Amino acid sequence: MKYDAIVIGGGHNGLVNGAYLAKSGLKTLILERRPMVGGAAITEELLPGYQFTTFSYAISLIRPDIVQDLQLVKHGMMVLPMSSTFQPGFDGEYLLLGADKDQNFHEVSRHSRQDAESYRDLSHLFDRVCFALKPLLDAIPPNAVSNRVEDIAHCQEVKDYLQNLPADVQGLIDRLWNGSAADILNDYFECELLKSNIASSAIIGSMISPSDKKSGIVWLLHKMGEYDGVFGDWGFHKGGNGGFTQVLARAAQAWGATVMTGHGVDHVIYDSGKVEGVVLENGQELRADIVVSALDPKRTFTQLVDAKDLPADLNQSITQFKFQGSASKVNFALNGLPKFPALNGRVDPFTGFVNVGPSMQYLEDAFADAKAGRFSRKPFIDCCVQSTVDPEMSPPGKHVMSCFVMYTPYHLTDGAWATEREKLGDTVENTLNEFFPGFHGLVEHREIVTPLDIENVTGLTEGNIFMGELFSEQMFLNRPAPGWNQYRTPISGYYQCGSGTHPGGCVMGGPGKLAARQVINDLAVPAGKN
Amino acid sequence: MPQTTPFHDRLIALNETGIWKHWSGYLVAPRYQYSETDEYYAIRNSVALLDTSPLFKYVIKGDDAKSFLEKVLSRDINECQVDQAQYTCWCNEEGFVLQDGVILHVAKNEYWLTAAEPTLRYFRQLAAAGAYLNLEIDDISEEYGILALQGPHAFDVLQALNIDAANLPYFGVARTHINGMPVVLSRTGFTGDLGYEIWTSTEDALSLWDVVMAAGRNYNITPMGTTALKMARVEAGLLLLDVDFSSARFAWVDAQRETPCELGWGWMFRKLAKDQRDFIGRDAIETQLKNKTQRWTTVGLEIDWHDYERVHVEAGIMPPKHGVYSESTMSIYRRGDVEWDYVGYATSFLYSSLLRRPIALAKLPLELAKSGTQVDLEIPVIKKPQNVLAHVARVPFFNPARKTSQFGKQ
């Protein structure tokens, strides 16, 4: 069987990529090693009636044009709004933000009248920054090392675009690109609960604290998602993020792609710098003129192909590419909703993100443990009780709670994850019990997913949830390597479309879409012109 | 002083926003929470509970009830058997619509009707003129409250209430009891989703509210305000009196009046040739159907997503999407060489969060009413009129299988 295009990896980007390629008329095969599609965006029923979002658990950044282009609504896409953000503090203190701007003003005012006003100012400026950068997120980035006239012009075009933005927008972009979230937050706010709540977006999945100069860009990327056109708002896909990748698989198939699960790729075959197909783990050979890897840069350039066949500068970039997974998941089946004593009995604090990390110092301390090579003794925990919004996630009256836990370094100085994992589970449970007394009694089942588990199950190197850190030296012009940031590889016909390419991770689908665009562009141009 | 519905004592505590509006002189909550989107999604994802008691409610009974309704209602009441409900309308002699409503055939020779506007005297006048000997028409608006239980888990809530609604078909009606309280249950609603409406006596209203809310707790039951209902009904393609059309009764000129065909209800008359009913407006409607003389029809519009993005992004702003629901009139133009070639207007506009695109209900001449036809819809972009591409679309825009599916026979 000969295909026009083979996509390696049935995660969200592989599915998006395959769907676009099929839509463009290419006979496309998507190969997934595991028995189910979805990669790190899967939902699993680990206990009868309880749906666990094993890894990825919320959605915001999925590019809006993908939803339209692939007609995802027709295939069941349904994102339910996460209507609150809850930041429990010590001694009954808390911050509970919701959908209403004026209510939020008064809620922040309880802590600081000035912060309440700054919150609006910063939100508005941030919205304008996101609006300004959105076109760059949705376009193939320029090649900054090429000497070709078109590439030089493309770089200049982007430079001009950025330089023509309003000064205040440019100012914040500069600070976010080069500076720390803490620095900006300290300029705007005094309330620790508010600062640490916002700072959570600046550290998620990254081996940095909010005071690290690399945190600004992590924050920026997370704010660029949208819900109903509102930047920074998130939602739960019906049935979890696994529900979303099921939608993508249906869409890809409807556009004509073949999706084969249980078929891992051993390596890519190529000759004289031109791709010829893939060899499956079972030894079977499949031919195609186009092969797209949705795997991370390390696997794309060192496992699927022989690094010896690649240029030295690319090899060096890939060797230096930082993964350093920092996050774990601890997912719970609960026999009731947690209770925060000061808001006893209320459901609304649990219908969005519940951020355990009540001060900037708390987050810094949590990071200090990770720097010392151990998981945080007082971890930052981003909790979601999706069953409060989506009744299909748990049996009636019961709940599922997804906990994203930081910091949990992939490399432990002492011990190994095999022996540390239950201790991590206990630490998370104990921390939650401090903020939500009686939490222990609610737990019916828990699932611990360490960075090592993430790597082993999904193939994300070192368990990095973004397929590589979102640091500025690994973004845009440099994702995953200077000159190789346009989805092509040195092997003609071999492309990359994972989150290790622009614009990055977070269930955006952008890499899958843009890589498909590049493939289609290249096919339209006579060979040799690229 | 506004009136209150029989459920009001419970609604006060639930209305977090403190905002109320008036519906036929009754206090109702446009939304209970700060986000109408959450309430909207309860309809599509879990289950929502709405107080629709401000509707006018009438009972029409007696041996002559059917022949009276045959005369008055435009849709054939003979198709509405006992234990069935029917969406219907009634017109004047010129074939212009006076009102629409849902009629329940609750027992032999007994019908219950909901209406947005009063129609007791009008019906009684018609009854008197027609010399129906055994006919009673009464206003029971104050004797009953109605709850709409809408959403994919509505059936589960009924099961939790020990009601066997498994075999209740779409637009079916049942007299039953909830916790010993007599109710009339119909598989109807205005959301285009799986849903039921429950009629209760005013005295039982608060107890009924409590037991339904308790039974729904495990399914995230959410009280829904009128805004969420309106958002859902646009997706369902359901028209609202005084928004998408006006009653012919208080119109000044025919330009304000509309016939069933002009409202897109031609489907109500598919079997007209086979029935001999002498209903009010029949001649006019028949003539219009035969000669295709309707001035326009009512259609769905799907606004092109890319064009909607473009006109806003070019103006330097994010396209408004969150909670965008509008009942203001928007002009529609023919696409072609002539600029601003006015052809019709939209009456309801929604950015559908679920469908991820703006949609509208609109009036267009027949030659532009075919699905897929392209027109320009005028929307305001930073206060300035701007045309965006829209396609004529079939309604309902959203039509889940669960709306009509049968639960009993698997």
Chain A nearest CA to B398, separation (Å): 10
List, for residues A202-261, the tens digit of each pLDDT value. Answer: 999 999 999 999 999 999 999 999 999 999 999 999 999 999 999 999 999 999 999 999
Nearest by CB to residue A228, choosing from B45, B306, B321, is B321
Grade residue B407 by pLDDT with cuts at 50, 70 and 90.
confident
Best residue in A125, A136, A228, A343 for a mutation probing chain B (most B CBs within 10 Å) = A228
Q: Does residue B91 sit within a domain?
A: no
Model pTM score? 0.97
Hunting for tokens 């070709």 — which residue is that? A148
Total count of domains within chain B:
2
List, for residues B132-142, the tens digit of each pLDDT value. Answer: 999 999 999 99
- Structural domain that includes position B209: 8-55+142-235
Q: Give the whole-number percent of chain A exceeding pLDDT 70.
A: 99
Q: Does residue B135 sit within a domain?
A: no
CA-based nearest residue in chain A for residue B160: A396
The answer to whether B355 contacts A229, with C-beta atoms less than 8 Å apart, is no
Q: For the range B256-261, what are the long-range contacts, defined as Cβ-Cβ under 8 Å and sequence gap of 24 or more?
A: B257/B94, B257/B96, B257/B97, B258/B96, B258/B97, B259/B91, B259/B95, B259/B96, B259/B97, B259/B284, B259/B285, B259/B288, B259/B294, B260/B74, B260/B89, B260/B91, B260/B95, B260/B97, B260/B285, B261/B285, B261/B288, B261/B289, B261/B294, B261/B297
pLDDT of residue B408: 65
Report d(CA A465, CA A54) in Å as an integer.
Answer: 12
Report d(CA A391, CA A114) in Å as an integer.
Answer: 39
List, for residues B143-180, the tens digit of each pLDDT value. Answer: 999 999 999 999 999 999 999 888 899 999 999 999 99
The H-or-E segment that residue A369 falls in is helix A360-371
A153 by Cβ neighbours in 10 Å (0-12 / 13-18 / 19+) ranks as exposed
B408 by Cβ neighbours in 10 Å (0-12 / 13-18 / 19+) ranks as exposed
Q: Does residue B388 sit within a domain?
A: yes
Grade residue A162 by pLDDT with cuts at 50, 70 and 90.
very high
Q: B162 and B42, same structural domain?
A: yes
Domain boundary among B184, B214, B235: B235
Grade residue A526 by pLDDT with cuts at 50, 70 and 90.
low
Q: Which two tokens stand for residue B130?
A: 């027609």
Contact B343, B332 (CB under 8 A): yes
Grade residue A530 by pLDDT with cuts at 50, 70 and 90.
very low
Q: Residue B325 sits in a domain of what CATH number?
A: 2.40.30.110
Does A345 touch chain B if contact means CB atoms closer than 8 Å?
A: no
In the sheet with B56-61, reading across from the earlier edge strand, the strands are B84-91, B97-107, B110-115, B56-61, B136-139
Q: Is the pLDDT of residue B232 over 70?
A: yes
Q: What average pLDDT is seen over chain A?
A: 97
Q: Give all domains of chain A, ordered by start, each with its CATH number.
A: 2-41+63-77+238-321+480-524 (3.50.50.60)
Does A136 touch chain B if contact means CB atoms closer than 8 Å?
A: no
Q: Does residue B200 sit within a domain?
A: yes
Q: What average pLDDT is seen over chain B?
A: 97
Q: Residue B50 sits in a domain of what CATH number?
A: 3.30.1360.120
Domain boundary among B209, B235, B261: B235
Chain B residues touching residue A238 (CB < 8 angstroms)? 45
Q: Is the pLDDT of residue A27 over 90?
A: yes
Going through A235-326 in order, the beta strands assigned E by DSSP cover 235-237, 258-260, 265-271, 274-280, 285-293
Does A397 touch chain B if contact means CB atoms closer than 8 Å?
A: yes
Q: For chains A and B, what is the number of CB pairs under 8 angstroms?
A: 76
Residue type, A391: P
ipTM over 0.85: yes
Q: B173 and B51, same structural domain?
A: yes
Q: B212 and B320, same structural domain?
A: no
Residue A161: helix, strand or coil by DSSP?
Answer: helix
Q: Is the pLDDT of residue A42 over 90?
A: yes
Nearest by CB to residue B353, choosing from A228, A389, A396, is A228
Q: Does residue B62 sit within a domain?
A: no
Grade residue A1 by pLDDT with cuts at 50, 70 and 90.
confident
Chain A residues touching residue B153 (CB < 8 angstroms)? 391
Question: What secondary structure does DSSP assign to A84-147, as a single string?
Answer: -EEEE-GGG-EEEE-S-HHHHHHHHHTT-HHHHHHHHHHHHHHHHHHHHHHHHHTSPPP-SS--
Chain A residues touching residue B35 (CB < 8 angstroms)? 81, 83, 98-100
Q: Is the pLDDT of residue A529 over 80?
A: no
Chain A residues touching residue B356 (CB < 8 angstroms)? 64, 67-68, 73, 77
Does B400 touch chain A if contact means CB atoms closer than 8 Å?
A: no
List, for residues B260-311, the tens digit of each pLDDT value. Answer: 999 999 999 999 999 899 999 999 999 999 999 999 999 999 999 999 999 9
List, for residues B304-338, the tens digit of each pLDDT value. Answer: 999 999 999 999 999 999 999 999 999 999 999 99
pLDDT of residue B131: 87
Q: Give the whole-number percent of chain A exceeding pLDDT 90.
A: 98
